[in-house]
């Protein structure tokens, strides 16, 4: 029996990818599926398209793009009464969430998994009114994701975040905030970076929250208090590899809720999408989503 499928693609100015997707859509249609392709043009389009697909009771939404595209789709379906299954074609700048499941970048294989793979229940997290499924970060590295231009991302891929991140090391800034978990206060003071993980990878492969599991009903929280520059530089490889849990410079907690209260406006990334403010309330959404996996 054929499926009703919406494919939402962030084209990134790559005509070859669009042609490849066009061929894949035709194959799906020959197999008896009803396929509606949508190309995003500006921020928020994927959320609008995903919400429309859910209201039309489509069976499957395929997010073809990076973590930002996936995030927009999740925000389109998290609150809908009918919730399509979510499949991911990881063809964006950073594909950290898709990498957690070993999803291929090949469109034909990715669509095979989308239609015939295994659905996995995945927790949906929330910060204020924004949903996310991967990782939210604040402090060091946050400006890198915001400042990496679309052209730099297109040319360098995930290395764009590394290049812009090097500039942050030159002018390493600390911020001040209080971190309150469901179990009590975790930290109050100056910090360099924090992360809230529903999954493990962010920033092109850094495992800031290495103990996170997408279906365990918990948020993993990392805080690195303000330490001298050279000690932070020494810690960076551990943060990249996910081997920092036992470091004396790291606070790590698994919890159901987290409130971050900053002294000044603080930029925060949510699956690569920027928000800002002085108070961020993290929690898990009551209903998971279904993600197609190999």
257 assigned to some structural domain: yes
Residue pLDDT, tens place only, 205-263: 899 999 999 999 999 999 999 999 899 999 999 999 999 999 999 999 999 999 999 99
Are residues 138 and 273 located together in one domain of the fold?
yes
pLDDT given at position 140: 84
Residue 75 shares a structural domain with residue 162: no
Query: Do residues 152 and 268 share a domain?
Result: yes
Among 226, 213, 223, residue whose Cα is nearest residue 245: 223
Domain region containing 57: 4-116
Residue 146: half-sphere exposure toward Cβ, Cα within 13 Å: 16
* Number of structural domains in the chain: 2
Residues of the chain with pLDDT under 70: 13, 143-171
> Does any domain span residue 291?
no
Instruction: Give the span between the Cα atoms of 77 and 106, in whole angstroms.
Output: 25
Query: What pLDDT sits at residue 171?
Result: 55
Q: Domain for residue 158, yes or no?
A: yes
Question: In this structure, is residue 125 part of a structural domain?
Answer: no
145 in the same domain as 14: no
* 149 shares its domain with 61: no
Residues 102 and 166 in one domain: no
Is the residue at 230 inside a domain?
yes
Domain boundary (61, 84, 116) is at 116
The pLDDT of residue 50 is 98
My answer on whether 39 and 156 are in the same domain is no
What pLDDT shows up at residue 89?
Answer: 96
Of the three residues 63, 93, 116, the one that is the final residue of a domain is: 116
Q: Are residues 162 and 246 in the same domain?
A: yes
Residue 123, domain member (yes or no): no
Q: Give the pLDDT confidence score for residue 141 in this predicted structure.
A: 73
**Same domain as 277, residue 135:** yes
Catalytic sites, residue numbers: 273
Asked whether residue 209 is domain-assigned, the answer is: yes
User: Is there a single domain that holds both residue 137 and residue 249?
Assistant: yes
Same domain? 183 vs 269: yes
Say whether both 281 and 137 belong to one domain: yes
What pLDDT score was predicted for residue 20?
Answer: 87
* Secondary structure (3-state) at 66: coil
CA dist 275 → 129, 139, 177, 217, 239 (Å): 11, 12, 16, 24, 23
CATH number, residue 17 = 3.40.50.10330
pTM for the model stands at: 0.88
pLDDT of residue 268: 95
pLDDT of residue 259: 98
User: Cα–chain-centroid distance for residue 137?
Assistant: 10
């Amino acid at each position: 029996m054929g499926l009703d499928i919406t494919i939402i693609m962030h084209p990134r100015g790559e005509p070859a990818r669009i042609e490849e997707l066009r061929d894949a859509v035709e194959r799906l249609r020959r197999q008896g599926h009803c396929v509606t392709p949508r190309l995003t043009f500006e921020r928020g389009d994927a959320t609008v398209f995903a919400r429309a697909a859910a209201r039309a009771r489509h069976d499957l939404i395929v997010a073809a793009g990076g973590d930002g595209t996936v995030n927009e789709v999740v925000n389109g379906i998290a609150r809908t009464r009918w919730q399509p299954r979510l499949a991911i074609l990881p063809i964006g700048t950073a594909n950290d969430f898709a990498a957690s499941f070993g999803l291929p970048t090949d469109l034909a294989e990715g669509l095979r998994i989308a239609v015939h793979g295994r659905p996995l229940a995945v927790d949906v997290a929330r910060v204020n009114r924004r949903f996310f499924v991967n990782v939210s970060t604040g402090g060091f590295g946050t400006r890198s994701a915001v400042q990496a231009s679309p052209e730099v991302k297109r040319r360098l891929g995930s290395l764009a975040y590394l290049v812009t991140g090097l500039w942050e090391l030159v002018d390493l800034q600390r911020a001040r905030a209080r971190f309150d978990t469901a179990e009590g206060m975790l930290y109050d003071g100056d910090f360099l970076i924090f992360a809230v993980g529903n999954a493990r990878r962010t920033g092109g492969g850094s495992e800031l929250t290495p103990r996170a599991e997408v279906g365990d009903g918990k948020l993993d929280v990392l805080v690195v208090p303000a330490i001298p520059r050279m000690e932070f530089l020494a810690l960076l490889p551990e943060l990249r590899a996910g081997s920092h849990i036992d470091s004396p410079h790291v606070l790590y907690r698994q919890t159901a809720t987290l409130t971050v209260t900053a002294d000044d406006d603080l930029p925060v990334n949510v699956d690569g999408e920027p928000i800002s403010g002085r108070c961020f309330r993290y929690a898990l959404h009551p209903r998971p989503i279904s993600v197609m996996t190999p």
